Amino acid sequence: MMQFMLLFSRQGKLRLQKWYFSYLDKQKKKICRELITQILSRKPKMCAFLEYKDLKVVYKRYASLYFCCAVEEGDNELLALEIIHRYVELLDKYFGSVCELDIIFNFEKAYFILDEFLLAGEIQETSKKQVLKAIAAQDLLQEEETPQGFFEDHGLG
């Protein structure tokens, strides 16, 4: 079972965090801090796995973003690597060659896509088509609902 997933930039800024195991806020901050420093200090040719407490951390860098997830002892590391890749593919398909800014400005979408793909730390749907279909259906519902407050929005909001 995956325990958490973190996305952070090369500068060490956290862009997305998803926790599948309940940690205290303090613990979460500590984990993020420690892992980000540790991973950023690793060299490119090093292996993508590291041990952190009793967890296995799997990470991969895509352009300016690091994707990192922690799985339990006994979980398959290579597949965790491919979970990351599939999530990147999903983001890429949805946003059309995704970049860090897309995730900053549409963070809620990044969460929604993740929820359709992984649930309770387990993979829910591995088919790219199915996940994107579900997200497209959400967007469709969105369009049916006429946005209100459009005018207020052009002020300060």
**Binding site residues, other proteins, CB under 8 A:** 1, 14, 16-17, 22, 24, 26-27, 29, 43, 45-51, 54, 73, 76-79, 81-82, 85-86, 94-95, 99, 101-102, 104-109, 111-112, 115, 119-130, 134, 137-139, 141-143, 145, 147-149, 152-154, 156-157
Beta carbon nearer to other proteins, 92 or 106? 106
**Smallest separation, CB 17 to other proteins (Å):** 7
Report which secondary-structure segment, H or E, holds 67.
strand 65-72
Residue 139 CB, nearest approach to other proteins (Å): 5
Q: How far is the CB of 58 from other proteins (least distance, A)?
A: 9
* 66 token code pair: 């690091």
Token duo for residue 64: 């300016």
With a CB cutoff of 8 Å and minimum separation 6, the contacts of 125 are 116, 117, 131, 134
**Token reading at 96:** 């059309």
Would you say 40 or 112 has its CB closer to other proteins?
112
Minimum CB distance to other proteins, residue 59 (Å): 11
**Beta-sheet pairing, 2-9 with 65-72:** antiparallel
Burial of 96 (0-12, 13-18, 19+ CB in 10 A): exposed
Q: How far is the CB of 65 from other proteins (least distance, A)?
A: 15
Nearest to 5 by CA among 74, 64, 58: 58
Dist. CA 40–CA 75, nearest whole Å = 24
